[in-house]
Structure 1
Amino acid sequence: MAHPDVDEERLLRDMANGSITAFEQFYEKYASLVLHIALRIVKDRMEAEDICHDLFLEVWKKAGQYDPKRGSIEAWLAVKARSRSLDRMRKKQRLSIASEENATLEQASTAAAAEENVLSRLDREVLRQALGKIPPAQARALQGMYYEAKTQRELAANMNRPLGTVKSLIRYGLDNIRKQLSQSGWLESLGGERKHE
């Protein structure tokens, strides 16, 4: 009997091999699920969008880690979204604690959280710089889809363009960003990380 997520598993395999089209399809199918879970937990749209962005970037980098024997893709993403959201809430709570008895423990956890935050910001900054180097229509389509969690149909309506054109703008935009990241050596460093995990 075939597993119900066979097509999605193929998308993940294709993503692990660097397919931008597979990533687009995967994102379009699951972004609203991840955003909904994150928003329900953190109750802040911008925080939820950051969590969604970070999670999909992580899934793109580590697409090969999904194990269909452990559950459906929806369940895997839901667990990741819930975990990242709760981590974000715990981090906020830890940062708001001002008691002296927790100062030493707080410094250690804050240092780890700060390092993680710097790396996450670095990823976002590299992507923002790459967005600035591609044609404006492609950049606008990508920003709407990935930073504002808009569907391709919503983007087509907002940009006054046919759906097919918006899909092409996203595909070419992702391809151009991949080229930018490859030229800067950023993708090679991700490939090195993947081999060590």
Structure 2
Amino acid sequence: MLGLMTVDSAGDLAPPAPASKEELLVQVARGDQSAFGELYDQIAPRVLGLVKRLLVDHAQSEEVTQEIFLEIWQSAARYESTRGGASTWILTMAHRRAVDRIRSSQAGRDRDTKIGIRDLAVAYDHVAETVEVRIEHERVERAMTRLTQLQRQAVSLAYYGGLSHSEVADKLQIPLGTVKTRLRDGLIRLRDELGVAS
């Protein structure tokens, strides 16, 4: 059962309160498909929004979002609430997947240009992947230092903190339009620093 029935002030049964994302992830880890559906309903728009801001292309964004939810279904048991909120865990996964797609697309274009061969199969190498992820993380950290303090604060809260634009505005006590401007300018600067083609 996803939520517990409550009794309102008139003594009538009230609809169950929605389960938290953390509770839903625990249930998903046990194979609960209805919990997965509810989790999807709660966070899919934010995941798609984050992915689309990075990839721009709507079709690719939808494809990556599906991959993310498949990964959530398969790896929910690895979620540890002591290490952060469920939204942060999911949005970090989404951010990583989107960056991987960008990197993969760029690498494919570079490879095609240099070699003239498409769809070159590359064997999976865990050590190489770990090194690549670490290098990419360091590149992003360096690029983040090139943002203004205000841009860095907004980007960190939205993408690493998992907050929506409205939540960032509330937390920083600034207008929503200001948050959107800081995020847009920050992402443009990050894209330029990282050399990601738009």
Bigger RCO of structures 1 and 2 (CA < 8 A, at least 6 apart): 1
The TM-score bracket by the shorter chain reads 0.3 to 0.5
Please, what TM-score do these two structures have when normalized by structure 2?
0.48
Higher radius of gyration, 1 or 2 = 2
Please, what TM-score do these two structures have when normalized by structure 1?
0.48
| More helix as a share of residues | 1
